[in-house]
A and B are shown apart, each in its own frame.
Chain A
């Protein structure tokens, strides 16, 4: 009615009696069948002009015209069964002939060959620690038959295995002293590089790392990318010096990029978040030489802090992993208690033993003035890291699952 008003059309286009006639006709059109009026109105008030899903799009069973399909309740046997039990099920019969072949699920009946031996065999062959191999060889009709069996191909060398496991456990469960030495050396190298970007200094600090220990390979490889960071800083400074003129903001930008060269995007984002939390401008408002120098140093220190946090995280995770090592009995509960830092609240949730939340810790430290207990970790944070605790090991069934 209002629309007609706006358009300027006459309100009653049809004389009244005609309207009355047309309305009941419309009503019967409107009235939906089977669904309530309101529900019908949801779909737009009228019956859909086209079906929403074209029936032709649905998959049709391919059934040629000449085939006659019936479904019959028939018996069947399975090769998976040792007896002749006949069970029944519905079968799709085509033109009167039932399907042939084995029961379709028989192929899933897998079995494992477990080696069993008699007492005689045991006496004869198996008092040797290398049990299974011996019995395989003994039972084999000829050596050639059995030579492709993995047990025979790679004989279990006990001395080698003992040595291998010893080396492995040594790496995984270094003495605290050795670990501390390695970690300190790695830290010192890191700090020396981030706080003092001169290549000469770098050489001095890498020297002590060259002591014999398998984990030093890690330390050395950890140092390698840091060396390139120091190089980047030196290169950036050199390239600036070679310019005839540049802007201070440009120089700062170059140095910041060089300092963050070894850091991934995520770390760089974290540094910027940190700066924002510290209420420091991401780009200094008054970029004098002194301000730029301070700003650069601050960024490098934040990077160091983040690296330290990561190191600490790995350590705390790693120490829990090492608790149930090959050579030690899993004496886990006490050990883990000790592993927890006294300052921090113990995080009861199983996911993140010893984990640290990086940004959160930083944030809370600034807000609290007292002897700060550091914030408990956020589970969401630590879920992102691969959980070393999950590795299963048949030797360590006793280890508590956290």
Chain B
């Protein structure tokens, strides 16, 4: 890979994954009290299909055909049920991306852990996690294909490396959108801004550094006796 010469050249794909569940209210039965969806989406709702080939969701064995394979974006699965359990999510990448799968786990939540009032059919219980898929040694082919794709974060390339614009959409999928920008549940999706966390961390570091300075001062005062 030509990028091997560049130190720490990594391609990263920010994702959000989790579950969203709605109580069925009047339509609820004993075995199906909720309708829920488990999914992996781009953190900014971009189409992950350029990177991910398929996602396999492993459900509770009480579900028929518990191993559900989703071969095109949006990588999600909707089901009805009554119980909470842990879902195993396996992400498989395109051949030029990576031949190893990536495994995630997420507990399905049907009941809110913070709100203990009466159930509502309008307000879902949504639990999402943010993470980033990192490819530390991307192949040239992969890089060429996704270097300007919105779902992928690529470091600034040296000007000598002039890559062609990657084809935007994979026409095999026809008209089905891979992105989730207009997803029916998009209003519930978290926006995951790093700004707040960065600010908090910077403040904390400043405090710690100040404290260190104070201690070093005291140390030298002791020495000057």
Contacts and interface: CB of A to CB of B under 8 A. Distances in A.
Interface string B189-202: 00011101110111
Contacts of B136: 240-244, 246
Interface in A301-358: 301-302, 304-305, 308-309, 311-312, 315-316, 319, 338-339, 341-343
B130 A339 contact: no
B6 to A, nearest CB: 13
Contacts of A361: 211
Given A243-B136, A245-B100, A285 B222 contact: no
A35 interface: no
Contacts of A60: none
Contact of A284 (B99, B100, B197): B197
Interface residues of A, number: 55
A183 interface: yes
B202 A246 contact: no
B66 interface: no
A249 B133 CA distance: 9
Contact of B132 (A247, A280, A305, A309): A247
A343 B104 CA distance: 51
Contacts of B220: 180
B93 interface: yes
Interface string B169-212: 00000000000000000000000111011101111110111111
A199 to B, nearest CB: 16
B200 A301 contact: no
A279 interface: yes
A304 B194 contact: no
B215 A305 contact: yes
B157 interface: no
B224 A176 contact: yes
A248 B131 contact: yes
Contacts of B14: 288
A342 B132 contact: no
A366 B207 contact: yes
A241 B137 contact: yes
B137 A286 contact: no
B185 to A, nearest CB: 20
A278 B197 contact: no
Interface string B131-160: 111111100000000000000000000000
Interface in A346-398: 361-362, 365-366, 374
Contact of A312 (B197, B200, B218): B218
Contacts of B215: 305, 308-309, 312
Interface of B: 12, 14, 93, 98-100, 102, 104, 130-137, 192-194, 196-198, 200-205, 207-212, 214-216, 218-225
Closest 9 CB pairs of A and B: A248-B132, A180-B223, A294-B201, A278-B204, A288-B194, A301-B208, A245-B98, A286-B194, A308-B215
